[in-house]
């Protein structure tokens, strides 16, 4: 794990000094993070890097994971899709399963923190244990147009928190509690984002049979219908009609996403007769994901819905040209034609990729602009500062509206 001083060459000493100054005000407070999985997905990835750095700063930060069975995670996956606006049949049985697991968690999980920081809908009902401590609910997904039945049900819990955190202004809701706008971040020194020697990049491409002599189009994401992997294959086939290239669809699964294996099977079936499509299941192999991104010619993220899109952040940090859907938090990262290209359709994505493959200097400039934007806005050091300032604000009566 990287230490605080390791970030100085990336962000500068004043940023680290500022973190230490803010952290000093939180001495003696215990911050307890709670989510639903220790591996897989952006939340676990962020907490894995953030908690040790908070501890190094002198903030007693801990991380607990709630327990849930297969039925519970199928229900919360339906909730997840419904909050994104996808049609889902939500029954009373689903709500009963959710509350049955939640009641067990309320009985078994000790909420000992001075600040209890609950991430996403799965552990949301733990708020029923609230006592004199401070509680924050962190929503990592796009709820700008949620299924109202699911949202109103979850809101009955959200309203009991002291504050809620959203990733983008469009995700915020009309709530009686304070709201903070804090986008997520990537760790530039993690295995997934650190600089790699060219020989490692080439060895990973060779390992997976990916040719280095023609363009590589890559999407890195969980196998999730909201990431539209089938649409990515359509985009690739349209591009390939004009330019000889290959596609890499790589990602892992998460313990709280039982739908992923089903989606992976559908994608493999669709791609099985095309030798230029590489479907890679890479659970928690961050170094290889890093190498794939760095070895790619163009990165695509054709999400239908997106909470923020950390795979876009990662690609931009590597100075790669990115074509991505204009959804969720992606437009906060990509200014169209400056730090990447935004698209709305399969045809638009294919056109953008062809444009980048035919104009490598333009693609290179977009990548450079994107990397600088990430350096200034979406690295872990900024995220740490925003969270610590939010923690401090809970102990003051002023109406602090947001940090961005």
Number of compact structural domains in the chain? 2
Write the pLDDT tens digit of every residue in 69-97.
999 999 999 999 999 888 899 999 999 99
CA dist list (Å): 309 to 5, 72, 298: 28, 25, 16
Are residues 204 and 319 both part of a single domain? yes
Specify if 403 maps to a domain. Answer: no
Spatial separation of the C-alpha atoms in residues 80 and 280, rounded to whole Å: 24
Which regions of the chain are under pLDDT 70?
A: 254-256, 397-404
Spatial separation of the C-alpha atoms in residues 224 and 185, rounded to whole Å: 21
Specify if 222 maps to a domain. Answer: yes
**Exposure string over 362-374, b if 16+ CB within 10 A, otherwise e:** ebeebbebbbebb
Are residues 248 and 271 both part of a single domain? yes
Strand segments (E) across 36-88: 60-65
Are residues 141 and 231 both part of a single domain? no
Are residues 276 and 367 both part of a single domain? yes
pLDDT at 41: 75
pLDDT at 42: 81
pLDDT at 398: 54
Q: Would residue 292 be called left, alpha or beta, if left means φ above 0 and alpha means ψ between -120 and 50 degrees?
A: alpha
Are residues 158 and 240 both part of a single domain? no
Specify if 399 maps to a domain. Answer: no
Are residues 223 and 353 both part of a single domain? yes
Residue 110 burial (CB < 10 Å; 0-12/13-18/19+)? exposed
- Starting from the edge strand earliest in sequence, which strands make up the sheet with 246-251, in order? 277-281, 246-251, 216-220, 298-301, 322-325, 341-343
Q: Domain range holding 248?
A: 198-377
pLDDT at 1: 81
CA 214 and chain centroid, separation:
30
Q: Would residue 58 be called left, alpha or beta, if left means φ above 0 and alpha means ψ between -120 and 50 degrees?
A: left
Are residues 261 and 156 both part of a single domain? no
Specify if 313 maps to a domain. Answer: yes
Are residues 161 and 268 both part of a single domain? no
Classify 391 as helix, strand or coil.
helix
Specify if 107 maps to a domain. Answer: yes
Specify if 170 maps to a domain. Answer: yes
- Per DSSP, the residues of 214-257 read S-EEEEE--S-GGG-HHHHHHHHHHHHTTS--EEEEEE---TT-
Are residues 178 and 87 both part of a single domain? yes
Write the pLDDT tens digit of every residue in 220-265.
998 999 999 999 999 999 999 999 999 999 987 766 677 888 999 9
Specify if 193 maps to a domain. Answer: no
Are residues 225 and 180 both part of a single domain? no
- Per DSSP, the residues of 113-176 read -SEEEEESSTTGGGGGG--SSEEEEE--S--SS--HHHHHHHHHHHTTSSEEEESSGGG----S
- Per DSSP, the residues of 272-318 read TT-TTEEEEE-TT-HHHHHHHHHH-SEEEE--SS-SS-HHHHHHHHT
Are residues 246 and 118 both part of a single domain? no
With vertex at residue 396, the alpha carbon angle to CA 393 and CA 401, rounded to the nearest 5 degrees, is: 50
Are residues 253 and 291 both part of a single domain? yes
pLDDT at 404: 41
Q: Residue 237 — φ and ψ, nearest 5°?
A: -65, -35
pLDDT at 40: 73
Specify if 133 maps to a domain. Answer: yes
Measure the N-to-C terminal CA separation of the chain; round to a whole number of Å: 27
Where residue 389 sits, what CATH number does that domain have?
3.40.50.2000
**How many CB atoms lie under 10 A from the CB of residue 190?**
18
**151, 9 in Cβ contact below 8 A?**
no
Looking at residue 186, what DSSP letter applies?
B
């Amino acid at each position: 794990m990287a230490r605080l001083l390791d970030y100085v060459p990336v962000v500068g000493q004043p940023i680290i000094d500022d973190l230490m100054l803010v952290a000093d005000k939180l001495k003696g407070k215990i911050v307890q993070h709670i989510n639903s999985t220790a591996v897989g997905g952006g939340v676990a990835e962020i907490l894995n890097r953030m908690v040790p750095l908070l501890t190094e700063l002198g903030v007693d930060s801990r991380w607990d994971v709630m327990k849930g069975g297969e039925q519970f995670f199928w229900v919360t996956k339906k909730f997840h899709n419904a909050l994104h606006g996808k049609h889902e049949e939500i029954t009373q049985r689903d709500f009963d399963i959710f509350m049955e697991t939640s009641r067990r968690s309320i009985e078994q999980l000790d909420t000992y923190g001075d600040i209890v920081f609950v991430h996403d809908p799965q552990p949301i009902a733990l708020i029923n244990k609230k006592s004199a401590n401070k509680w924050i609910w962190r929503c990592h997904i796009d709820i700008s147009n949620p299924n109202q039945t699911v949202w109103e049900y979850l809101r009955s819990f959200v309203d009991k928190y002291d504050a809620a955190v959203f990733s983008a202004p469009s995700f915020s809701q009309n709530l009686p509690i304070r709201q903070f706008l804090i986008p997520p971040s990537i760790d530039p020194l993690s295995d997934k984002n650190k600089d790699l020697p060219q020989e490692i990049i080439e060895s990973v491409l060779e390992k997976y049979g990916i040719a280095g002599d023609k363009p590589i189009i890559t999407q890195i994401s969980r196998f999730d219908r909201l990431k539209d992997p089938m649409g990515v294959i359509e985009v690739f086939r349209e591009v390939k009609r004009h330019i000889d290239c290959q596609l890499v669809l790589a990602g892992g699964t998460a313990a709280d996403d039982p739908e992923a294996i089903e989606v992976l099977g559908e994608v493999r079936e669709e791609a099985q007769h095309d030798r230029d499509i590489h479907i890679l299941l890479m659970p928690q192999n961050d170094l290889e994901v890093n190498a794939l991104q760095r070895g790619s010619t163009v990165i695509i993220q054709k999400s239908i819905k997106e909470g923020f899109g950390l795979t876009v952040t990662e690609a931009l940090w590597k100075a790669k040209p990115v074509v991505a859907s204009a959804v969720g938090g992606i437009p906060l990262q990509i200014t169209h034609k400056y730090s990447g290209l935004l698209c709305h359709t399969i045809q638009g994505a294919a056109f953008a990729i062809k444009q980048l493959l035919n104009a490598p200097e333009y693609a290179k400039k977009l990548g450079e602009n994107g990397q600088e934007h990430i350096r200034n806005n979406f690295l872990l050091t900024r995220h740490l500062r925003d969270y610590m300032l939010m923690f401090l604000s809970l102990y003051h009566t002023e109406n602090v509206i947001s940090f961005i």
